[in-house]
Amino acid sequence: MSFLDQIDNIKLPQHIAIIMDGNGRWAKQKGKLRVFGHQNGVKAVREALEGCVKANIKFLTLYAFSAENWNRPKLEVMALMELLVTSLKKEIKTFQENGVRLNVIGDISKLPSNAQKKLQETIEATKENTHCTLTLALSYSSRQEIVDAARNLAKQVKEGKLQAEDINDALFSANLYTQNLPDPDLLIRTSGELRISNFLLWQIAYSELCFLDKMWPEFTKEDLFKSIVDYQQRERRFGKTSEQL
């Protein structure tokens, strides 16, 4: 029986975020180059997206390339960028058929121009789709995102457009790259590492965390469904007591 059948459709997480980790180690275990891990990581991206479409998850956010990942060997960075472009070319049809809207967060201006162009084209082509929003975090740093928001608010205060006292949670959220997304309900990380690695630090304040002991290329729809079932068995209290819920 699939874990899909155990999902309670009334308590669905609206937004799932994933730290896709372990491509390199998975490849190494197989005696292959790291790039082989990333190529197989793309298959797992498809699994995650198909799973979200099947389970009716409205927002999926994937940590595809961190700001720190620019420090990796040049060849690996180039291979990842190339993989991004070829995957977008290949997957556009699936996006349209499944009503997937593409979105990006991060400093896209650092990406090679062909990748920027392909991203923009795909975002434009899928902007009317409403079934699921797939957000790719690319050249993304959560601390940078928070710094950018603080700068933006400070600028508005300096220009007299905003009072410092009026800055609150909601206004801060509205100045993040994720301004159009709800906060993640569930954050999944693969590879057994128990870290957040500068991903959505503000947004995961109340997210449930799920750490899986398998490498990203091995991730399947069933893993996604099982994580949703686990999430549904937890009690989200947002600081309240059980009795108050």
Q: At its nearest, how many Å lie between ligand FPP and the CB of residue 174?
A: 26
d(CA 177, CA 139): 12
For this structure, is 21 an active site residue? yes
d(CA 200, CA 185): 12
Residue 97 host element (H or E): helix 74-98
Task: Report helix angle 34-55 to 221-232, nearest 10.
Answer: 50
Identify the active-site residue in 5, 9, 21, 103. Answer: 21
Identify the active-site residue in 5, 9, 56, 69. Answer: 69
For this structure, is 148 an active site residue? no
Q: At its nearest, how many Å lie between ligand FPP and the CB of residue 207?
A: 20
Q: At its nearest, how many Å lie between ligand FPP and the CB of residue 197?
A: 9
Residue 95 host element (H or E): helix 74-98
The per-residue DSSP string of 124-170 comes to HHTTT--SEEEEEEEEE-HHHHHHHHHHHHHHHHHTTSS-GGG--HH
Is the Cβ of residue 47 or residue 149 nearer to ligand FPP in the bound state? Answer: 47
Interface residues with ligand FPP (CB under 6 A) are 20-25, 38, 41-42, 45, 62, 64-65, 69, 80, 83-84, 87, 136, 191, 216
Is the Cβ of residue 80 or residue 149 nearer to ligand FPP in the bound state? Answer: 80
Is the Cβ of residue 153 or residue 184 nearer to ligand FPP in the bound state? Answer: 184
| Residues carrying an active site annotation | 21, 69
